[in-house]
Each structure stands twice: as C-alpha cells, then as structure tokens.
DNA sequence: ATGAAAGCGCTAACAA
DNA sequence: TTGTTAGCGCTTTCAT
C-alpha cells in the first residue's frame, strides 16, 4: 500500500509515473518497465494494454530515476581543444543527436579547461565524471592523452583520426582513398597542374589525404611537382598566403586540392582578389563538406564525411563498451565510414583545355 | 545499519558515494550534502573536514541521484528550426556551457521534427519532456508557437529576438542601438553612401537593425537613399544578388552594412569578384560576430552578441522559473545584454576621401 | 510471463 | 548546526 497511495508530498510537477501507468493498465510497474525497455518476455496483449495506458497518460520515463536504478550512468564526454573549426560544430550536432537517440548524457568539455594541471590530472577528473570519451582530432593523435585516459579507466573512441591507435576504438573515413578520389576527379576533368595545400602536419589525416593526392597523380602518370605542394594548418588564415604563392607562380596550377574546406575557401578568396575566376580559370576542391563549403561562392566540390553517422557509431561503441560486464574481454573496434564526393560549382575543365581565352 | 553496510551488490562501478565521504569525515551524509551544495548553515570546521574527505576520496556527486531526490529534473530544451546558420551553432555551444554549469539537462530538438502534426501537438509533446524551452529566432517570433508552449505549461525564454513578447521572458541585445552604432562608425570613418542589406523581414531583429541604420544616417544629416537599401534573408546566398546590384549601381556605395555576417561575407565575395578591393574601395560590416566573420578575408568589422552570456542568462531565468513554487507568481524577465562593436579589417575611409586613384 | 521486495545515491522535511 | 527519516521513480533480483 505504499506506491498506490495518493501522490506523495515530495512530488513536484504533475509528471506521470510508472505506477500510474501500471495502475491504469492493471499490471505491475515492473511490467510497464519491461514494455518501455522493449524486453521480449511480455505477452503482446499485455504490451498493448500498457502502451495504451502510456499513450493515454502521456507517460515519459524519468531519466534520472532510471539511470539511478540501473546504475547505467552512461555519461559520455566529447572533448575538444580547438573550438574554432566549422568541423567541430558539425561533430557536436552529430554527437548530440546520437546521444539523444541512445539516452546517453553528453558532456561537452574543453580539454584545456579540464587540464589546468597535468594531463594526468585532467584524465583522472574526467574519469570520475564520465564513463566514455569521444576524442576528435587533434586530441586523438596524442598518445599521452589517450594513455592517461585509458589508464584512468575511461572508454575512449577516436573520431576522424587519420591513423588509428590500436589500443582504442575508432570511427573514421578513409582519408587516403578520399584524397585520391577527389584528386582523380580533378584529373578526369582534364587537370594536370594540380596544387595541394596540406593540412596541419600534426594531424595524420593531413598526411593520409596528401598521400591520396600523390597516389592519384601517380596513377595518372603525372609527376609530382613539389612547387605545387604547400603547407597549411587547416585554418582559413593559413590558406591565404600559400594560395597567394601558388597563384603567383609563373606557371600557376589550374586546380587546387585543399586539405579541408576552410583552406579551400581561402584559395577561392585569394583567386577572386586576383581577378581569377573560379571555376573558369581555377578549380578548387576542399575536404569535409563543412559549413564553409557552402558558405562561399561558388560552393565547393568536396568530400563529405558522414559526421552524423560517425558520431552515432562512436556513441554506440562507447555504450556497448560501458555496458559490457567487467568479466568480458575489452573489445577494440575500428570502423571506417563511407565518404562521398560532393560535386558542386568550384570545378570546371582547365581553361586552356577548352580553347583560348573566351 | 543499512547504509554503513558493505557495498551493496547492485553497485556497479567503484564510484564513491556520499556515505563513504560521510563515514570518512565522521558526519552524516546530510551534512556532506549540505557542504557540497554550498548551504550556509555548516560550521567551517565541519566543512573543512568534509571537503578533505571529498578530495581524499575523489568524490563526485551522482547527478541522477540528486536530481531524482531533489525532484529538480530540470530538463531544458533548445528548439531550432533552421540549423544552417552559423549563428545557431554558437548558440548551441553557449547553451551547452550554461546547462553544464547549472546541472540542467539539455535537450536539443528540431521543431519541425517535433511538430509532425499540429503545432499544438508539438507543444504538448515538448511539455511532457521538458520544463523549460529556449527559443531562438525565428521560432520566438511566432505568436502561435509561444502561445501553445505557454498553454502547455512550459516555461519559455526567447533568445535574441528583435522585439519582445510581453508574455514571455527574453534575453537579447539592443539591435536598434547596435545597428545605429555600427552605422555611425561607418559615418565617422567618412562614409556617406552607405548601403544596407536587410535581413529576413519575418524576423524583427532585421527591422530593429535597419531602424538603427536609419537613425544613424538621420543623426548625421545624411538622407536615406532607398536605392541603397536591399532586402536579404540572412543567408549567404541571399546576399549575393543584392550585393551584385548594389555594386553595379552607377554610383555604388562606399560602404555596406549587412544585417548579419553571412550576408556581409557575400558582399565581400561579390566585391572581390568584381575586382573591388575590400576595404580600400569598399567597406563592409556585418552583425553577430559569428564564425563567418573571421572565416573570410578581410575579417569583418561587426557587432558581437555575447551569446555565451546570453545563453547562460536564459538558462538561469528558466531554472529560476521552474524552481519557483507554484504558489509564487509567475515572473517575466526581459534582459538586454551588452553588444560590442568589433573592429577588424573590412573597414577603411572611403577611397575618394583620401585622394584620387592611387 | 508477471510480480514483490529491495534498493540505486541523494536530499526535503522535520527533529534534536 | 547537525542528524534522522522517508522517500524521489525506476530497475534489479528472485519468486511465482
């Protein structure tokens, strides 16, 4: 006679509880719980009764209560270092979606704020707060960060890393293949003087993409012209001077493959300022399909990373790891998501190929 | 003898609980709770004892348990409609920060996905899930949306709305003043032919900003030239054709005030394509200080909205409203945050003013 | 397939 | 100022 009592004094909002649903459906709260959580051992007729009651009452489970009871405090953190890039924001949205879908609680944290002291301290602090961590670049490239995290007992999954650390799970695209694919596309369009603006050398994705670029050239029998290869840092600003150099060359490239969209946008901007039309006089391609790709004119041909799906996958991996009993062996998963070549307006056949000046 | 028992069977991770802290500090769990939550009625010596135990054990409160116990299931939703704009992403980050700070659980939802049926249904569904809603534009301009939400019993705060609905709380900047300020700045730099690209007419912030523009002109005794006023829609794309028109004028403007950064970026892009140097031949200013402002070259002089602080404020207002007893009267708060004129590289004195062609 | 009992870790209310 | 009691709403375990 404890639960069926009148509403307790400490109840606040008029939220519907599992007991009310149970009462209406004339079953035990336990059965309602089973229905809600999709357990199999429930008779269909019972399930229907319960669902009817749930809908009638507009019952929504109390997340706090269930995670408390289930001891499944599935809190996951997304740790970033450099909140600038358009890329991070996409990732954030994706993770948020995935977390909502899985009833995981997402914590967003800045590694630098976390690690006021040493990295070890930061890792420990984090370990107390969450059970799993999603690590985007460049954090996921840092062996020390990963080690501390793992040592602190947190489950970790690297997202969008160029190479994968065998110790931790990862979700990524094949940067090499993608880089090769988009370069080959440029070649197919008739380009042979294709420049490359590499991304931040400290992130291995940059290297993978560049290797893809080289492979495509090689496959087409085009010798690598080092004069056409420049170093950028994934930022818009870093793309400006190198694009400037490239376009000031006596024999400028007819196409530029930038390591990401931000640098590609910089190249387009520089081209425009020099009176070079994109794509007529210069083709430009980016990488990531971040918001920068469509926030310029012409919109960029680029490689899309399926961030949303990748974030979802990362969360799934984490959740599975967290819920695994301690007796079961630890499992490391490496997942490669399919990228996609997105054709937009920043590419055309090279000017010289289609005839003299129009 | 219930709590001091050996660890219960159902405990999962080795998480430290309040009871262990209490035991170590030789006080009751309640006292620990009070220390943790910063209640005043705790003797300093006791507080220190407790804090020592907390630190020694590395105790971190279990959020699920406390919100369950305190019945403070403060779930707040951020509802958006148009996830495109750079602006929304900033807001998202801000809200996330604020939510973390206040231990509120944040739910991010797309209004359109919510409202598969009518708006009324969407509002009802939302009301079951959360206690409060943060409404950015353009949703916060919709009287019906607000009404349904309020009717459904959710607390609502509009963020960054141009005008304020007297029925609901709001956090915003003074768009009129900001628009006037940045226009005046242009005037002070010597510009007199200042064009304006207005934002989406369905969002009142556009109007406020435009009114600010007019006020600044008037104050300076510059007659409003309607040929220099164009309609945009806050998107990059929408800025392209109108910027084109503006710069194709026989007497083109020497400066453009765009209703937001995206449209300003479009104006810069168009200018570059026409061989017009920014800022030498044309000054451009934006509004919002979104990522678009610094993702182009030259970086935009613009108005910064303190989104982070605004999001924080919105969450505070919501939380206070939610926690207010039902007996207390409902309070509507209107908060105006201080904007800031951010000077960057997209503005210079008009070319003609500093002499003939260089 | 379903139910009863016993908490998960914390805090509001009241007592001391 | 501090402790005691009684849950918050749910799910685990173990019966039935």
| Residue A171 three-state SS | strand
State, as a whole number of angstroms, the distance between the CA of A167 and the C1' of C9: 33
For the segment A84-120, what is each residue's pLDDT rounded down to a tens digit?
566 777 788 788 777 766 667 777 777 877 766 677 7
Q: Is residue B7 part of a domain?
A: no
Establish if A338 touches chain B: CB-CB under 8 angstroms: no
A266: nearest Cα among A295, A288, A235: A235
Query: How distant, in Å, are the alpha carbons of A332, B197, B235, B301 from that of B266?
Result: 46, 11, 9, 14
| Nearest residue by alpha-carbon distance to C1' of D8 | B69
B residues 273..332 contacting A (CB < 8 A): 273, 275, 277, 291-292, 294-297
Q: Is residue A3 part of a domain?
A: no
Domain that holds residue A39: 17-69
Q: Is residue B292 part of a domain?
A: yes
User: Are A319 and A285 contained in the same domain?
Assistant: no
Establish if B144 touches chain A: CB-CB under 8 angstroms: no
Whether the CA torsion A162, A166, A169, A173 is positive or negative: it is positive
pLDDT band per the 50, 70, 90 thresholds, residue B357? very low
B301 contacts B342 by C-beta, under 8 angstroms: yes
State, as a whole number of angstroms, the distance between the CA of B69 and the C1' of C11: 5
State, as a whole number of angstroms, the distance between the CA of B24 and the C1' of D8: 26
Establish if A107 touches chain B: CB-CB under 8 angstroms: yes
How far apart CA B244 and CA B227 sit, in angstroms, is 13
For the segment B314-350, what is each residue's pLDDT rounded down to a tens digit?
988 888 787 665 556 678 899 999 999 999 999 999 9
Cβ separation of A10 and B71 shorter than 8 Å?
yes
**Is the CB atom of residue B23 positioned under 7 angstroms from any atom of strand C?**
no
B residues 53..72 contacting A (CB < 8 A): 58, 60, 62-65, 67-68, 71-72
User: Are A231 and A350 contained in the same domain?
Assistant: yes
For the segment B24-54, what is each residue's pLDDT rounded down to a tens digit?
999 999 999 988 888 878 899 998 988 888 8
User: Are A130 and A248 contained in the same domain?
Assistant: no
Per the structure, the residues numbered 61 to 120 in protein chain B that have their CB within 7 angstroms of any atom of strand C are: 61-62, 65-66, 68-72
State, as a whole number of angstroms, the distance between the CA of A10 and the C1' of C13: 9
User: Are B196 and B226 contained in the same domain?
Assistant: yes
Q: Is residue A106 part of a domain?
A: yes
In b/e form, how buried is each residue of B192-203, taking b as 16+ CB within 10 angstroms?
bbbbbbbbbeeb
Cβ separation of B64 and A64 shorter than 8 Å?
yes
Per the structure, the residues numbered 18 to 47 in protein chain A that have their CB within 7 angstroms of any atom of strand C are: 27-28, 30-31, 34, 40-43, 45-46
Chain B residue with Cα closest to A129: B60
User: Are A244 and A190 contained in the same domain?
Assistant: yes
CA angle A186–A190–A191, rounded 5-degree value? 60
User: How many domains, in total, are found in chain A?
Assistant: 3
For the segment B123-150, what is each residue's pLDDT rounded down to a tens digit?
777 776 677 899 998 888 888 888 888 8
State, as a whole number of angstroms, the distance between the CA of B59 and the C1' of C6: 25
Cβ separation of A63 and B105 shorter than 8 Å?
yes
User: Are A187 and A56 contained in the same domain?
Assistant: no
User: Per-residue pLDDT for B207 more than 70?
Assistant: yes
Chain A: give the shortest CA distance to residue B182, in Å: 24
Chain B: give the shortest CA distance to residue A270, in Å: 9
B158 contacts B168 by C-beta, under 8 angstroms: yes
Chain A residue with Cα closest to B78: A96
Residues touching nucleic chain D (CB < 7 Å): A 2-3, 8, 10-12, 15, 17-19, 29-30, 33, 36-37, 59, 61-62, 65-66, 68-70, 72; B 9-10, 26-31, 34, 40-43, 45-46, 65, 68-69, 71
Q: Is residue A23 part of a domain?
A: yes
Q: CATH number of the domain at B137, please.
A: 3.40.50.2300
DSSP code of residue B177: H
Higher pLDDT, B52 or B163: B52
| pLDDT digits (tens), chain A, 358 positions | 444 444 455 555 567 889 889 999 999 999 999 888 788 788 889 989 898 888 888 787 877 788 788 766 667 888 888 755 667 777 887 887 777 666 677 777 778 777 666 777 777 777 766 778 999 988 888 888 888 888 877 889 999 888 878 889 999 999 999 999 999 999 999 999 999 999 999 899 999 999 999 999 999 999 999 999 999 999 999 999 999 999 999 999 999 999 999 999 999 999 998 999 999 999 999 999 988 898 888 999 999 999 888 998 998 888 878 766 555 667 889 999 999 999 999 999 997 644 443 3
Last residue of a domain, one of B69, B84, B103: B69
Last residue of a domain, one of B37, B69, B101: B69
**Is the CB atom of residue A116 positioned under 7 angstroms from any atom of strand C?**
no
B66 contacts B94 by C-beta, under 8 angstroms: no
Q: What is the mean pLDDT of residues B265-278?
A: 92
Cβ separation of A65 and B68 shorter than 8 Å?
yes
How far apart CA B235 and CA B93 sit, in angstroms, is 21
How far apart CA A122 and CA A134 sit, in angstroms, is 15
Q: Is residue B6 part of a domain?
A: no
User: Are B275 and B227 contained in the same domain?
Assistant: yes
**Mean pLDDT score across all residues of chain B:** 85
Cβ separation of B86 and A295 shorter than 8 Å?
yes
Q: Is residue A6 part of a domain?
A: no
Establish if B333 touches chain A: CB-CB under 8 angstroms: no
Position A131 scores a pLDDT of: 78
Higher pLDDT, A44 or B64: A44
**Which of A64, A100, A108 is opposite residue B68, by nearest beta carbon?**
A64
Whether the CA torsion A85, A90, A92, A93 is positive or negative: it is positive
User: Per-residue pLDDT for B5 more than 50?
Assistant: no
- The residues pairing with A157 across neighbouring beta strands, listed in sequence order, are A134, A169
Q: Is residue B265 part of a domain?
A: yes
Position A325 scores a pLDDT of: 59
Phi (first) and psi of residue A242, to 5 degrees? -70, -35
**Nucleotide closest to B28 measured between CA and C1':** D3
User: Are B293 and B317 contained in the same domain?
Assistant: no
User: Are A58 and A79 contained in the same domain?
Assistant: no
Position B271 scores a pLDDT of: 94
User: Are A273 and A196 contained in the same domain?
Assistant: yes
User: Per-residue pLDDT for B67 more than 70?
Assistant: yes
List of E strands, chain A:
75-80, 105-110, 132-135, 155-159, 169-173, 194-198, 229-231, 255-258, 283-285, 302-304, 334-337, 340-342
Least confident of A74-88, B199-213, B306-320: A74-88
Residues 6+ apart with CB under 8 A from A70: none
Position A1 scores a pLDDT of: 40
Extract the tokens encoding A81: 């270092």
User: Are A298 and A265 contained in the same domain?
Assistant: yes
Chain B: give the shortest CA distance to residue A358, in Å: 17
B305 contacts B160 by C-beta, under 8 angstroms: yes
Chain B residue with Cα closest to A131: B13
| Residue B230 three-state SS | strand
pTM (global) more than 0.85? no
DSSP code of residue B227: G
**Which of B65, B237, B262 is opposite residue A68, by nearest beta carbon?**
B65
User: Are B190 and B242 contained in the same domain?
Assistant: yes
């Amino acid at each position: 006679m404890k639960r069926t009592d009148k509403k307790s004094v400490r109840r606040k909002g008029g939220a519907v509880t599992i007991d009310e649903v149970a009462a209406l459906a004339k079953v035990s709260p336990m059965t309602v719980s089973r229905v809600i959580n999709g357990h199999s051992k429930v008779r269909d007729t019972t399930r229907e009764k319960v669902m009817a009651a749930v809908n009638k009452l507009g019952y929504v489970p109390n997340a706090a209560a269930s995670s408390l009871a289930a001891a499944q405090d599935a809190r996951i953190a997304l740790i970033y270092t450099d909140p600038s890039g358009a890329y991070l924001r996409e990732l954030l949205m994706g993770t948020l979606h995935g977390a909502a879908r899985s009833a995981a609680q997402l914590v967003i944290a800045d590694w630098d704020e976390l690690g006021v002291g040493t990295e070890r301290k930061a890792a420990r602090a984090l370990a107390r707060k969450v059970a799993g961590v999603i690590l985007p670049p460049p954090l996921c490239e840092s062996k020390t960060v990963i080690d501390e995290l793992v040592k602190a007992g947190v489950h970790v999954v690297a997202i969008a890393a160029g190479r994968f650390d065998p110790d931790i799970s990862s979700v990524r695209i094949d940067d090499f293949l993608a880089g090769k694919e988009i370069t080959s596309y440029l070649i197919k369009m008739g380009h042979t003087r294709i420049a490359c603006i590499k991304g931040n050398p400290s992130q291995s994705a940059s290297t993978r993409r560049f290797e893809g670029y080289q492979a495509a050239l090689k496959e087409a029998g085009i010798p690598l012209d080092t004069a056409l290869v420049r170093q950028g840092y994934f930022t818009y600003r870093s793309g400006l001077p190198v694009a400037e150099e490239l376009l000031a060359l006596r024999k400028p490239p007819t196409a530029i493959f930038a390591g990401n969209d931000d640098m590609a946008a910089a190249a387009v901007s520089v081209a425009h300022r020099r009176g070079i039309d994109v794509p007529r006089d210069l083709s430009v391609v980016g990488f990531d399909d971040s918001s920068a790709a469509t926030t310029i004119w012409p919109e960029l041909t680029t490689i899309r990373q399926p961030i949303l799906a990748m974030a979802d996958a990362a969360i799934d991996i984490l959740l599975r790891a967290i819920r695994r009993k301690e007796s079961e062996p630890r499992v490391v998963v490496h997942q490669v998501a399919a990228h996609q070549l997105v054709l937009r307006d920043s590419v055309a056949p090279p000017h010289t190929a289609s005839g003299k000046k129009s």
